[in-house]
Amino acid sequence: MKRSTFQMLAFVIIAFFTYNTVSQPFQGDISSVLSNDIAEVAKKKDALYVEIEEKAATYEVAPQDAKIDKIWKAQPGLNGLKVDLEASYKNMKKSGEFDEKKLVMKQIPPKIHLSDLPPSPIYRGHPEKTMVSFLINVAWGNEHIPGMLETLKNHGVKATFFLEGRWVKENPSMAKMIIDAGHEVGNHSYTHPNMKTLGSTAVREQLLKTNEVIEAISGSKVTWFAPPSGSYRDEVVNIAHDMKLGTIMWSVDTIDWQKPEPNVLINRVMGKIHPGAMVLMHPTPSTANSLETLITSIKDKGLELGTVSSLLSEERIVHHN
């Protein structure tokens, strides 16, 4: 009898400790899961959440893949947009009413990227991207650069300066001034030759030497190449691609080397400006005197201004009301 009582007591003690060490944490986990599930169910039954969910599709935009266009050659892709249900619900929960101004959108990347395409020159950004980029090719015109930099700074604009390697070698302080101002810099060859007729070894040398002098000052890798006078052949584009350089052309030309009057230059550019435009210019008196009006006129059309890298990125510009 005593032995039976002892066995029963031992069983009770073991069961007690087993319950405290195993069952309680497990019950805590179950409680946590159940609480989360209940909260989720309650939220999804909430009329506001349901309304956001039902209307979400009308605000969504499909992403667009990068592609080779028959006319414009390589064209970057563009992110799509999808409603972030959780964040949007949180934004509207306090008022309890649907408000499209409080919708939060997630950007959805395309499946095919610019980097997936075969080597090809790029003439413009995506035609639906509300951004424009200034391409400023520099091999001369030092006297106009400080004023242009000041104008760009005053309007919060970042441009891409394509620098000739020889010019950088001879004007390192001015090249550094451009870089320190936060602008993007690209490769414009070393001595401004006709790249279309240059041998492949010489093409590589032109690109390599220019990259070296720019990177020595900037500390960053060069990613874009603008052929002098826009002259190239397919092999040049392939060589640049092998060196991790994208070949950049333009869709709008200031023709500023002809030294037009500012009003002529402005009308020429604004008559052709478009979403995704890449505008070619140089440090000339015509451009220096036109730059401020160009910037304000482009912005008045609802277009932003950014570097080549910004323009060619897949990020979609979302304008909030």
Q: Write out pLDDT tens, residues 304-319.
A: 999 999 999 999 998 7
Q: What is the pLDDT of residue 33?
A: 52
Going by pLDDT thresholds of 50, 70 and 90, the confidence category of residue 186 is very high
Residue 189 lies in a domain: yes
Number of structural domains in the chain: 2
In a domain, 146, yes or no: yes
- In terms of residue numbers, what domain contains 84? 47-115
* 5 in a structural domain: no
pLDDT for 11-40, tens place per residue? 544 444 444 544 454 455 555 554 555 555
pLDDT at 1 over 50: no
Residue 12: predicted pLDDT: 46
DSSP secondary structure, 136-197, as one string: EEESS-GGGHHHHHHHHHHTT---EEEE-HHHHHH-HHHHHHHHHTT-EEEE--SS---TTT
- Residues facing residue 223 across a β-bridge: none
What is the pTM for the complete model shown?
0.84
Percent of the chain residues past pLDDT 90, beyond the cut: 84
Alpha-carbon separation of residue 163 from 137, 150, 192, 220, 307 (angstroms): 6, 18, 10, 14, 14
- What pLDDT score does 36 carry? 58
Claim to verify: residue 261 and residue 129 sit in the same structural domain: yes
In a domain, 19, yes or no: no
Dump pLDDT digits (tens) for 33-61.
545 555 555 555 589 999 999 999 999 99
> Which of 115, 144, 161 represents a domain boundary (last residue)?
115
Q: What is the pLDDT of residue 319?
A: 75
Residues 52 and 98 occupy one common structural domain? yes
Q: How is residue 9 written in tokens?
A: 């007591």
**Same domain flag for 94 and 133:** no
Q: What is the pLDDT of residue 41?
A: 53
Whether residue 137 is found in the same domain as residue 109: no
Q: In this structure, is residue 8 part of a structural domain?
A: no
Boundary (domain end) residue, out of 96, 115, 134: 115
Task: State whether 107 and 225 are in the same domain.
Answer: no
- Alpha-carbon distance of 197 to 237, in angstroms, equals 13
Q: Residue 262 pLDDT > 80, yes or no?
A: yes
Residue 301 lies in a domain: yes
Domain shared by 111 and 124, yes or no: no
Query: Quick check: 145 and 180 in contact, CB under 8 A?
Result: no
Beta strands 80-83 and 67-69: pairing type?
A: unpaired
86 plus 225 within the same structural domain: no
Residues 180 and 291 in one domain: yes
- What's the pLDDT tens digit per position in 84-139? 999 999 999 999 999 999 999 999 999 999 999 999 999 999 999 999 999 999 99
What CATH number does residue 205 fall under?
Answer: 3.20.20.370
Helix (H, G, I), strand (E, B) or coil at 217: helix
